[in-house]
Amino acid sequence: MSTTAADAARVPGPASPGPSWRERLTRIAPILVLAPSLAASFIYVFVFTIWTLYISLSNSSLLPSYGFVGLDNYASLWSNRRWNIAYSNLFLFSAFYIVGAMAIGLLLAILIDQKVRGEAAWRTIFLYPLAVSFIVTGTVWSWLYNPVDGIQMLVRSLGWTNFNFALASDRNTAIYAIIITGIWQSSGFAMALFLAGLRSVDPDLVKAAQIDGASTFRTYRRVILPVIAPIFLAVAVVQIQFAIKTFDLVAALTRGGPGISTTFPAIYVYDLMFQRGQIGEGAAAAIMMLAALAVVLVPYSFFVVWRHRRESHHG
């Protein structure tokens, strides 16, 4: 009927010489394309981190030097009151900022989800701050907070001459001025993500809840929000990253003041490295920032991987 195995072994097909150089080039093209980005990313992520880690363990001051001093820089960092304020500010800010931005973002998303007219216009209004830099936002809000020219003056000129609004110039409340501004800037982003989540919920689910007699509020609380629970986590992680890296907003709004009341780790790193010539300690502070990020991101990424696995097992 056809050739036997022995025949086949004796008669090789006419065309299968080794691949030509062109073909070989095509074959390694994917790796060639990837290589530069990969090298850059590798240097950026690993070499830079290890480098900074090393500097943080060295006696560098105005210039990098490589005398090993162990954890001295960390010890001196943590004994510094300003750093402690910075670190506790970070936690205070992160907590309020994330909860605030998510709460307002969710509220706005649900409001817009009620089949309102001019949806695109509302969305644009709430989202435009995202396009603007923290520098611009911080600068403008610093004017509004300014007791001489801003909101306080406006209200006083309207007749309430005893009105006091000096949020940003009081060392006890300045941090809240930063929190409010941060929320103003980012709640639109949270809204956009939540809205997309709400729209991705199977409409049949909502119809089923309505037929079951659930009120709008109940439908959201018991049916829709649990379905989009993963989005809460994603939004929180994105926001927390903003929070930890926040430098621009504070730099433009309060510059860490009044006094040192609104110092943040990011501000402090900059000060140590470039204003005070304490590179070693600055590097230690930067490493502490990375640690804070890792505390959030490592469990999150494990969670994502776990969920991914579980889903692929079921599907």
Partner 1 sequence: MSSLTIRNLRKSFGSVEVLKGINIEARTGEFIALVGPSGCGKSTLLAMIAGLETVTEGEIRIGDRLVNSVAPKDRDIAMVFQSYALYPTMTVRENITFGMESRGVPKPQREEAVKRVAALLQIEPLLGRKPGQLSGGQRQRVAMGRALVRDPKLFLFDEPLSNLDAKLRVDMRTEIKKLHHRVGKTTVYVTHDQVEAMTLASRIAVMHQGQVQQFDEPQAVYDRPANMFVAGFMGSPAMNFIPAKLTTGPDGKPAVSFKATGGTAVLSLQDGISPGAAGRDVILGVRPEHIFRYSPELKAAKKSIASIDAPVEMVEPTGAETIGLMRFGDLEVTGRFDPDEAPRMGETITLGIDMSHACLFDPTTRNLI
Partner 2 sequence: MADAALARVHDREASAAFRRHFLSRVVIYGLLSIFAIIYLVPLLVVVFNSFREQPEIAQNGLIAFPRSFSFHAWADAWSTYCIGGTCEGMRRNFLNSLWMAIPATILSTLLGAMNGYVLSKWRFKGSEVLFTLMLLGVFMPGQIALMPWAFLLGKLGLTNSTYGLILIHVVQGISFTTLFCRNYYVSIPDDLIKAARIDGAGFWRIFRKIILPLSPPILIVTVIWQFTGIWNEYLFGVVFTSGREQPITAALVALTASGTNVRAYDVMSAAVLIGALPPLLVYFLGGKYFVRGLTQGAIK
Q: Which of residues 19-58 bind partner 2 (CB under 8 A)?
A: 26, 29-31, 33-34, 36-38, 40-45, 47-49, 51-52, 55
The SS3 call for residue 68 is: strand
Two tokens, residue 66: 């490589």
* Range 71-100, binding partner 2 (CB under 8 A): none
From CA 19, how far away is CA 9, in angstroms rounded?
A: 21
Tally of CB atoms within 10 A around 277: 14
8 or 28: whose CB is closer to partner 2?
28
The SS3 call for residue 95 is: helix
Q: Is 303 in the site for partner 2 (CB under 8 A)?
A: no
From CA 49, how far away is CA 156, in angstroms rounded?
A: 52
Q: Is 250 in the site for partner 2 (CB under 8 A)?
A: no
Smallest distance, partner 1 to C-beta of residue 79, A: 53
Number of residues that this document lists for the chain: 315
Q: What is the DSSP string of 119-184?
A: HHHHHHHHHGGGGS-HHHHHHHHHHHH-TTTSHHHHHHHTT-TT----GGGSTTTHHHHHHHHHHH
Binding string to partner 1 for residues 7 to 46, with x set by CB under 8 A, is what?
-x--xxxxxx--x---x-----------------------
Residue 5 interacts with which of partner 2, partner 1, none, CB < 5 to 8 Å by class:
partner 1
- Count of residues in contact with partner 2, rule CB under 8 A: 92
Contact 244, 226 (CB under 8 A): no
58 or 175: whose CB is closer to partner 2?
58
Within 13 Å and on the Cβ side, how many CA atoms surround 22?
Answer: 0
24 or 218: whose CB is closer to partner 1?
24
The SS3 call for residue 240 is: helix
Smallest distance, partner 1 to C-beta of residue 293, A: 35
Q: Is 3 in the site for partner 1 (CB under 8 A)?
A: yes
From CA 123, how far away is CA 307, in angstroms rounded?
A: 31
* Range 146-205, binding partner 2 (CB under 8 A): 146, 149-151, 153-154, 157, 184, 188, 192-193, 196-197
The SS3 call for residue 265 is: helix
Residue 182 interacts with which of partner 2, partner 1, none, CB < 5 to 8 Å by class:
none
Q: Considering only residues 19, 65, 95, 128, which one is a binding residue for partner 2 as defined by CB under 8 A?
A: 128
Smallest distance, partner 1 to C-beta of residue 80, A: 53
Residue 258: cis peptide before it, omega within 30 degrees of 0: yes
Smallest distance, partner 1 to C-beta of residue 315, A: 14
5 or 158: whose CB is closer to partner 1?
5
Backbone angles phi and psi of 181, in degrees to 5: -65, -40
Smallest distance, partner 1 to C-beta of residue 15, A: 6
The SS3 call for residue 294 is: helix
Tally of CB atoms within 10 A around 53: 15
Residue 154 interacts with which of partner 2, partner 1, none, CB < 5 to 8 Å by class:
partner 2
Residue 291 interacts with which of partner 2, partner 1, none, CB < 5 to 8 Å by class:
none
Residues that bind partner 1 (CB under 8 A): 1-3, 5, 8, 11-16, 19, 23
